[in-house]
Structure 1
Amino acid sequence: MHLPVNHRLRPQWRFLAGLSGAYLLTFGIVGAIRTAGEPFFARTDIEALGLKTNPAFAWLSVIVGAIVLGGAIVGRNIDHFINIFGGAVFMLAGLIMLTVMQTPANLLNFEISTCVVSFILGTIMLIAGMYGKTGTPADSIAEEVLRHSTRPGDKFAVKPHANK
């Protein structure tokens, strides 16, 4: 996998991932307060920040939001790994919840809007993870050379041309 090292937009993507974590943490806290006393996997109409929730989903959001926000604050490639893994999990969770939405297996009380938010957060986190890798200047140069090099016998490789 060839991911850019020290990409120039890394701070902006790290900030967006941090905002995603802050949103999840806020959603979870509001949801935990609003669903206090409800059964853990309740399927009621209680909402937090416009999305249906239950205590299980609220507390899961608090935990995941704290991890994502903590990773964005710490940085140092920790956020890179958290965002790559977390983004994939959010995408997969959105797909799974789409398939079980109208069944008793919808334990987290998802609806379409929750799946859309899951896909948006997953996309932001995946991109932040892809552009969030840090390293030494030598690592950055080595990655650029690797990304732009051609292999012998590569039929469709773009070959550099000499200026005349």
Structure 2
Amino acid sequence: MAHTPVNHPLRPLYRALSFVAGAYLVVFGVIGLIQTSGESFTGASDVRVLGQGTNVLWSILAVVLGAIVLATAAIGRNLDVEANKYLGWGILVVGSYELATSRTDANFFGFTIATVVVTYLVGLMLITAGLYLKVAPQSEVGAPRQVREGRTA
């Protein structure tokens, strides 16, 4: 995307934001796995972790997503940009699905409204971080319009 900032001066802040989102997902997932051991794999349960509803499936998914975010944040090199954007949008889709099915039998992640809100926040944090983490050689840096038109000098 030509209008995405390149070598943004606040890149370290956004990288830290990405790391915090990934760490939160891992911590939430691990605590969720501990709390939900012996519970059903899917479906709503009475288990609350950090004030949110969860089950084994969502806990496992949170650990996996958080590990991917942490790994890509550690590697960097624009891998974190793509991972944050796609995982952020994916998390928003999951949150929207769970918001739509929160009081039905189709709520197989065991979400509560608090979980939906936190899921939206984590997804938006990842998308925002993904928009500002792009790195490029100094020769390709310029105003977005200059980059689109190939007038970098």
Matched, 1:37 2:38: yes
Q: Partner of 1:17 in structure 2?
A: 18
Measure, in 1, the Cα distance between the counterparts of 2:10 and 2:21. Answer: 17
TM-score under structure 1 normalisation? Answer: 0.85
Task: For residue 141 of structure 1, report the CA deviation from its aligned partner.
Answer: 2.5
Measure, in 2, the Cα distance between the counterparts of 1:37 and 1:101. Answer: 22
Q: Partner of 2:133 in structure 1?
A: 132
Are the counterparts in 1 of residues 89 and 123 from structure 2 also a CA contact under 8 Å?
yes
Q: Secondary structure at the match of 1:41?
A: coil
Q: Partner of 1:60 in structure 2?
A: 61
CA RMSD of aligned residues (A): 1.7
Q: Partner of 2:119 in structure 1?
A: 118
Q: Secondary structure at the match of 1:141?
A: coil
Measure, in 1, the Cα distance between the counterparts of 2:56 and 2:13. Answer: 32
Task: For residue 146 of structure 1, report the CA deviation from its aligned partner.
Answer: 3.0
Measure, in 1, the Cα distance between the counterparts of 2:145 and 2:55. Answer: 47
Q: Partner of 1:109 in structure 2?
A: 110
Measure, in 2, the Cα distance between the counterparts of 1:132 and 1:64. Answer: 19
Q: How many residues get paired?
A: 149
Q: Partner of 1:26 in structure 2?
A: 27
Task: For residue 147 of structure 1, report the CA deviation from its aligned partner.
Answer: 6.1
- Give the unaligned 5+ runs of structure 1: 150-164
Counterpart AA for 1:56? L
- Give the unaligned 5+ runs of structure 2: none
Larger radius of gyration: 1
